Every structure is written in C-alpha cells, then in structure tokens.
Amino acid sequence: MAEPLLRLDGVHTHIGQYHILQGVDLTVPQGELTMLLGRNGAGKTTTLRTIMGLWRASTGTLHFADTGLNALATPDIARLGIGYVPENMGVFAGLTVRENMVLAARDGAIDQARLDWIFSLFPALTRFWTLPAGNLSGGQKQMLSIARAMIEPRRLILIDEPSKGLAPAIVDALIEAMRELKRTATTIVMVEQNFRMAQALGDSVAVMDDGRVIHSGRMSDLAADPALQARLLGLSLGVHQ
C-alpha cells in the first residue's frame, strides 16, 4: 500500500450556519487516483475546497506530506504543488487559451515538451490558442481546465466532476487523457458522479454521505460487489452510465 500523501482527520467545515463536513477522515495514497463518490450534497466538493483552503476547516487536521494545511492560505497551498480543477472549471473566459495556460505555468515559462504532450491529448486547444477561452465549448473548457493543472508537474491534483454535463464521446476522451496523466504517477483525487468513469480510472475509492466518509477501500473491490454498490450509491455497475 502506497504512502498516504494527503490525510484528513476529523475535518468539520461550516459554511455560515450550515454544518457541511461532519468529521471527514480521508487517506489519499501517493501515486494513485482516489475516487471520491457520493450523492449530491454529500460534501464532496466541500471536501476539495477545504483541502484547497477556499473554505476553512472549523476543526480537524489536514496534512499534505509533512505539511499541515489548516493554517495555510490558498495560494500557499497551491504552491505546495497542489493543482485544482474546480466544478465550474474556473476558466478565465476573457483571457485567451494561451493566457490561461501562461497563468497556470507560474513562472510564465511554458515547458514546450509538456505543452506538446498536452496538445496531443487535447488537440482542440491548439485551434483556440489565441482566442478567448469563452469561445470554447463545455468539453473544451473542461480540457483547458485540466490542461492548466497538467502544465506544471504537480504532486497532487484535485478534480471536481470533470464529466458533468459532457457528452459521452467527450467523456471517453477525458478518460483517455486521465489515463495518460496517471502514467506520470501523479496523485489524483477525483470527485465523480459518473460511475463508468469512476470505475475506469479509480485505484482507491472513498464514498461520502452526509458530510462523512462512509466507506473507503480499493475500487476493484467495490466494482466487484454490486450489493455494496447498491448500498453505498444506490445503483449497480453496468446499468448506470
């Protein structure tokens, strides 16, 4: 079992008067892709945002390698080597695709080799390179958002529902791109509702409900156990897309 790169212990997050995370314990092994599953409102996005420092944990600890994340501001958390692909993609519509990428490559210098690799995965980005990112379709924006996380080597990438609202063909392209990314042994935490994608990519899995992690283990075990799936997620593999 790989070393945990990210650990959450008893994390509670309040947003205003709402108690969203009610004691999240999460272990993310290094070099793997951990799927974060659960129905709407379970707290998956809140968990990612709390890791990223966009929302503060009220109690509990978050550790990234040896560093505590609780007291760090978001830019500092990002600088630890954590990339974030948010649910709404966070693409800067008024900036060109190129400018979006320049921002993501923090020193401004884009590594050409990495860029070529990204272009091989997402050819559409070359076509829109000098055009405003607002002109991109939903799927292309998602690719741009992921490309931004990939332009620099990251120690951890957080991806929130990449397949949301996308056509199945685009989802297939995304799965391929994610497989490529996994080959670099980058640690990834992905929130997904699409179980097909989850099963295709996940190594570990954590299922959330009501602000807590109610199950964690290997994806292969979950995929092989329809009864467990039904209990945790209310669906079974193969039927639900």
Partner 1 sequence: MTDQISETAAIPAAPLAERLRAQMPYWTVPALAVVGLLLIADVSTWSTLTLAGLAMGMLIFIMASGLTLVFGLMDVLNFGHGAFISIGAFVGATVLLALGGWTASESLALNLAAVGLAITAAMVATGGIGWFFERVIIKPVYGAHLKQILVTMGGLIVAEELIHLFWGPNQIPLPRPEMLKGSWVFGDVVVERYRVLAVALGAVIFVGLRFALVRTKLGLLIRAGVENGEMVEALGYRVRRLFVLVFVAGSALAGLGGVMWGLYDEIITAQMGLNILVLVFIVVIIGGLGSVEGCFLGALLVGLMANYTGFLAPKVALGSNILLMVVILMWRPRGLLPAGKG
Q: Does 128 bind partner 1 (CB under 8 A)?
A: yes
Contact between 185 and partner 1 (CB under 8 A)? Answer: no
**Is 87 a binder of partner 1 (CB under 8 A)?**
no
Residue 73 in contact with partner 1, rule: CB under 8 A: yes
Please work out the total of residues on this chain that contact partner 1, with binding judged by CB under 8 A: 34
3-state secondary structure of 215: strand
How does 7-24 read in b/e, with b if 16+ C-beta sit within 10 Å? bbeebbbeeeeeebbeeb
Tokens of 190: 């992905």
Distance separating alpha carbons of residues 145 and 159, to the nearest angstrom = 9
User: 154, exposed or middle or buried, with CB in 10 Å at 0-12, 13-18, 19+?
Assistant: buried
As measured in angstroms, the least distance from the Cβ of 121 to partner 1 is: 14
Task: Kindly indicate which of the ranges 94-102, 162-170, 179-187, 193-201 contains the residues binding partner 1, using the contact rule CB under 8 A.
Answer: 94-102
93 binds partner 1 (CB under 8 A): yes
98 lies in the site for partner 1, by CB under 8 A: yes
Cα(207)–Cα(217) distance, integer angstroms: 9
**Contact footprint for partner 1 (CB under 8 A):** 52, 54, 73-75, 78-79, 84, 86, 88, 90, 92-95, 98-99, 102-104, 106, 108, 110, 112, 115, 119, 123, 126-131, 148
